[in-house]
Amino acid sequence: MLASYAVRVEESRGRRYGEPPHPYRNAFQRDRDRVIHARAFRRLENKTQVFTRRFSDHFRNRLTHTIEVAQISRTIALQLGLNCDLVEALALVHDIGHPPFGHAGEKALDTAMRGYGGYFDHNLHALRMVEDFESRYLDFRGLNLTFEVREGIIKHSRQYRASEHPELGEYLLDLQPPLEAQLINLTDEIAYYTADLDDGYEAKLLAVEQMCAGIRVFARYYRDVDTHHHGASEKLKFNEALKRMFDRFVTDLITNTAERTHKATVQTLEDVRRCPERLVAFSDEVESERTECRQFLYDHLYLSAELMPEKQRAEHTVAELFEYWMACPQNLPPTYQEKAALEPLPRVICDYIAGMTDNYILEQHGRMCGKNSG
């Protein structure tokens, strides 16, 4: 049963290009399936989550991270009475606009674009991908996703001002997104904070002692596990403590969001949209724990001395390849040369690089720049 304020598929604002209904899948289910079958979705398998040069079959990539976000999101959506089909579609598409090399690649691409008066935003790029770059249908460009999925792509993690982005005017920028879209931002954080602790431990860049010293909620659970299972291996005790922390974040997000929704006397989707603030949120206590976890990861993993050479190589690869094609646009693939006749060259190059996998950009850098990128 859907809550009264959930998005109802029969009340969808529809697709940009009209299509007849499917006999056994609703519109949001079709959106989910179109995302899964998109080329951009498949490329997530070879895009970095955190590590760019440390190869392991066990580390997350963008695709496995996306699957984890979808699982968490469905669980929470079911408990809150939200539209699980819409939530799943949004979870699966939320990272589709990320460039290679994770946040290092995104930073380098944005820096390159700003040198030519532009910028790079992975949410807006994701919208461009599903609206224009995917080419699978005879009758229209892109995936022709419903309004609610397109709105969620750009608004799940931030608000855009209509004055700064007039091209997004159709997406109700002065209103809040539905709870289904709001949810994705925090399930994304739950997934990657706990996963990055796991991968950092697996990579031997993070130690249990460090985590206990820097993340109080983890320390509390680890001490309890160690007390009751003192003879167990450190790895299993670590797994159990991390699982309990993960469960705390998920449970708190469910209970606190339900409480906030009740206190706001929200009854309809329109009530959600007109709230002065987002309703999907952690309690103050867990928000403090989340912030502490985030700061620990930045201090000891994301910006660590051990990973800095990888980040610098990634940023250099993106920057050098970008400038190469600015100087030699005739060496772009024919389709992108055609785009460059209609759009600014920096944007065309940005679009091309952003769609690459880690492996492919290294191959292109080696070929175009005449250096060994491996």
Q: Read off the pLDDT of residues 258-303 as tens digits, 9 standing for 90 and up.
A: 999 999 999 999 999 999 999 999 999 999 999 999 999 999 999 8
The answer to whether 368 and 321 are in contact (CB under 8 A) is yes
- Span 365-373, mean pLDDT? 76
Q: 5 in helix, strand or coil? A: coil
Higher-scoring residue by pLDDT: 2, 48:
2
Choosing from 290, 308, 326, the residue where a domain stops is 308
Q: Answer whether residue 48 is part of any domain.
A: yes
- Same structural domain for residues 278 and 318? no
Mean pLDDT over 97-119 rounds to: 94
* pLDDT for the residue numbered 135: 86
Q: Would you give the distance in Å from CA 362 to the centre of its chain?
A: 23
Q: What's the Cα-to-Cα distance from 144 to each of 136, 160, 166, rounded to whole Å?
A: 10, 22, 21
Residues 257 and 325 in one domain: no
Question: How many other CB atoms are there within 10 angstroms of residue 234's CB atom?
Answer: 12
* Structural domains in the chain (count): 2
Rounded to an integer, what distance in angstroms lies between the CA atom of residue 374 and that of residue 318? 14
List the CATH number of the domain containing 144: 1.10.3210.10
What pLDDT band is residue 54 in, cutting at 50, 70 and 90? Answer: low
pLDDT at residue 208, rounded to an integer: 96
- 255-262, Cβ contacts within 8 angstroms, sequence gap of 24 or more: 255/283, 256/281, 256/282, 256/283, 256/286, 257/76, 257/80, 257/179, 257/183, 257/281, 258/79, 258/80, 261/5, 261/80, 261/179
pLDDT of 202 above 80: yes
Q: Is the same domain home to 263 and 140?
A: yes
272 in any annotated domain: yes
Q: Which of 185-189, 244-248, 300-304, 351-355 has the lowest mean pLDDT?
A: 300-304
Does 255 lie in the same domain as 344? no
Provide the residue type at 32 as one letter. R
Q: What is the pLDDT of residue 374?
A: 43
Asked if the model's pLDDT at residue 351 lies above 70, the reply is yes
Alpha-carbon distance of 124 to 240, in angstroms, equals 38
Average pLDDT along the chain? 94
| Within-domain flag for 127 | yes
Looking at the structure, do residues 267 and 314 belong to the same domain, yes or no? Answer: no
The answer to the question of residue 304 being in a domain is: yes
**Residues 214 and 158 both lie in one domain:** yes
In a domain, 85, yes or no: yes
DSSP 3-state assignment of 161?
coil
Question: Which of residues 57 and 104 earns the better pLDDT score?
Answer: 104
The DSSP bridge partners found for residue 61 are 48
| Across 10-20, average pLDDT | 95
Would you state the structure tokens that stand for residue 363, as one six-digit string? 């191959």
Provide the pLDDT confidence category of residue 371 given band limits of 50, 70 and 90. Answer: low
Predicted pLDDT of residue 209: 96
How much of the chain, in percent, has pLDDT values that exceed 90?
87
Domain range for 149? 25-308
Are residues 229 and 364 located together in one domain of the fold? no
Residue 143: the pLDDT is 96
For residue 196, being part of any structural domain is answered with yes
- pLDDT class of 131 with cuts at 50, 70, 90: very high
Beta-carbon-side half-sphere exposure of residue 65 (alpha carbons within 13 Å): 32
Q: What pLDDT is recorded for position 373? A: 44
- Tokens standing for residue 268: 């309809």
Q: Tell me: do 316 and 297 sit in the same domain.
A: no
- Does residue 153 share a domain with residue 107? yes
Same domain, 345 and 200: no
Q: Which of 308, 326, 352 is the last residue of a domain?
A: 308
* Residue that is last in its domain, among 293, 308, 323: 308
Regarding whether 313 and 219 lie in a shared domain, the answer is no
Please determine, for residue 244, whether its predicted confidence score (pLDDT) is greater than 50: yes
Q: How far apart are the first and last CA of the chain?
A: 52
Contact call for residues 181 and 152 (beta carbons, < 8 A): yes
In a domain, 126, yes or no: yes
Q: What percent of the chain has pLDDT over 70?
A: 97
Verify that 176 and 226 share a domain, yes or no: yes
Check pLDDT > 80 for residue 77. yes
Q: How many CB atoms lie within 10 A of CB 173?
A: 19
Position 19 in a domain: no
Residue 52 confidence (pLDDT): 60
Contact 154, 171 (CB under 8 A): yes
